[in-house]
Amino acid sequence: MWEYTDAVKDHFFNPRNAGVIEDADGVGEVGSLACGDALTLYIKVQDGIITDAKFKTFGCASAIASSSALTELIIGKTVEEAEKLTNKDIANYLGGLPREKMHCSVMGQEALEQAIKNMRGEAGPKAEHSHEGNLVCECFGIFDEEILRAIKENDLQTVEDVTNFTKAGGGCGKCVDEIARLLRQARGETSCPAPCKAPAFPAEGMTNIQRMHLIESVMDQDIRPILQADGGNIQLIDIEKKQVTVKFTGMCSSCPSSKATLENLVEAKLREKVDPDIKVILED
């Protein structure tokens, strides 16, 4: 689904500096296994210069590649030079990241900041939120100040941008309105410029991740039980914008009425409960 650069693939398949520094001068732990991404960064510093860096990462290809790139970027730099590193520098070093995966580069920047704080004795290794802000995204534990910082540093314009860079709003979607409010706040707008209207269809205004979750939910609750009642089933193969690719299994795979089932049940339900422009493709 994601288009990765050759540099991302290289750092993913051949990660540099993976491992642990037992006598590290600074350690930064960010993310959590429960949220799907976690990174621990170790740095060794001598005379103000980062002489070694290693990492342990749990996450996707982008998370591992970003961690690997981060270590190459900071080894040999002074601590002051490393402090100026941004998530954009990490992404640029890799030739770019899919916009939906930019949060991996943000995680690298946060791990570096935490490791430097730890080295200076200002904080423990694990990033702990100050709780001075308000929790916005309960699914991923993202606070308003983190979102506002990401908006400012990356010139984010939409809720989907915020989800791509912070993961906020990528779960249940309850915080989407609050993220939109933070976007307006960051732009200096104090109130909604026009009365908010109800969405024209269920998925209108949703991020890609939210649309994927909604499609999966409709498949599980409204489509699959009907097919299973006749000994069949359905497998979700891919989602590309408004095109959904599926595969029938069980009795449905050889049913002479599969084309009608595809159009009158699968496509009709997804159009009704997700987006009226959805097109469903059947994989052989």
**Gap between the Cα atoms of 181 and 87, Å rounded:** 24
Could you list the beta-strand ranges (E) of 95-252: 135-137, 142-143, 232-240, 243-250
Q: Looking at the structure, tell me whether residues 41 and 143 fall in a common domain.
A: no
Tokens of 217: 């939910």
Q: Is 139 annotated as a binding residue?
A: yes
**Gap between the Cα atoms of 125 and 231, Å rounded:** 53
Confidence (pLDDT) at 151: 92
Q: Is 255 annotated as a binding residue?
A: no
**Gap between the Cα atoms of 205 and 212, Å rounded:** 13
203 occurs within a structural domain = no
| 99 residue type, one letter | R
250 occurs within a structural domain = yes
pLDDT, tens digit, 9 for 90 and up, residues 78-107: 999 999 999 999 999 999 998 888 888 999
| φ, ψ of residue 113 in degrees (nearest 5) | -60, -40
Domain harbouring 141, CATH code: 1.10.10.1100
Domain harbouring 111, CATH code: 3.90.1010.10
Strand order in the sheet with 243-250: 232-240, 243-250, 279-282
Active site residue 35: yes
Q: Looking at the structure, tell me whether residues 43 and 116 fall in a common domain.
A: yes
Q: Looking at the structure, tell me whether residues 57 and 155 fall in a common domain.
A: no
Confidence (pLDDT) at 153: 86
Which residues of the chain are modeled with pLDDT < 70?
Answer: 1-2, 33-36, 129-132, 190-197, 207, 209
Confidence (pLDDT) at 167: 83
pLDDT, tens digit, 9 for 90 and up, residues 19-30: 999 999 999 998
Active site residue 196: no
**Gap between the Cα atoms of 232 and 216, Å rounded:** 17
Q: Is 35 annotated as a binding residue?
A: yes
Confidence (pLDDT) at 202: 86
Question: What b/e string do you get for 182-197 counting C-beta neighbours within 10 Å, with b at 16 or more?
Answer: bbeebeeeeeeeeeee
Percent of the chain with pLDDT over 90: 43
Q: Looking at the structure, tell me whether residues 70 and 35 fall in a common domain.
A: yes
196 occurs within a structural domain = no
Contact 17, 53 (CB under 8 A): yes
Confidence (pLDDT) at 197: 63
- The domain total for the chain is 3
- The DSSP code sequence of 153-193 is HHT--SHHHHHHHH-TTSSS-TTHHHHHHHHHHHTT--S-S
Q: Looking at the structure, tell me whether residues 180 and 271 fall in a common domain.
A: no
pTM over the 0.75 mark:
no
Catalytic residue selected from 35, 192, 252, 255: 35
Q: Looking at the structure, tell me whether residues 39 and 99 fall in a common domain.
A: yes
Q: Is 172 annotated as a binding residue?
A: yes
Structural domain span for residue 161: 135-187
Confidence (pLDDT) at 267: 92
Question: 225: burial class by Cβ within 10 Å (0-12, 13-18, 19+)?
Answer: exposed
Confidence (pLDDT) at 242: 87
Q: Is 252 annotated as a binding residue?
A: no
